[in-house]
Structure 1
Amino acid sequence: MFHGTEDVVVPIKDSEKLYDALVENNVPTELYEIEGASHMDVKFLQPQVFKIVMDFLDKYLTRP
């Protein structure tokens, strides 16, 4: 999950609560805070973010 530190639409506490629930239920998850990003900010469209997503998917999804 990615959450902007300047998001005024969805509080960061919501992502933290979801993250904690997923961890408690042994669901693979990661939470990243994007410094200075607002809700649906273009800062989420950076190569570093895409790499994190692809690495996560490669790690947890099986390929045929």
Structure 2
Amino acid sequence: MNDDSLVFSPDDFSGFARLFPLPNLVMFPHVMQAMHIFEPRYRSLFEEAISDDKLIALGVLSQG
């Protein structure tokens, strides 16, 4: 995957975003974070995103 394939334009947003919950993780813009995706439902989610618009929303979970 080259850098051009990671470019996203807001004009291309369909209004649909896949949600991937992350407990106890802080992410910063333009920083790569390795993740181990092992649950079948999330593996499918990522495979779908890669083959489609490459858009995934990351939600940070908090206790409570």
Normalised TM-score (structure 1): 0.32
Structure with more strand by fraction = 2
Normalised TM-score (structure 2): 0.32
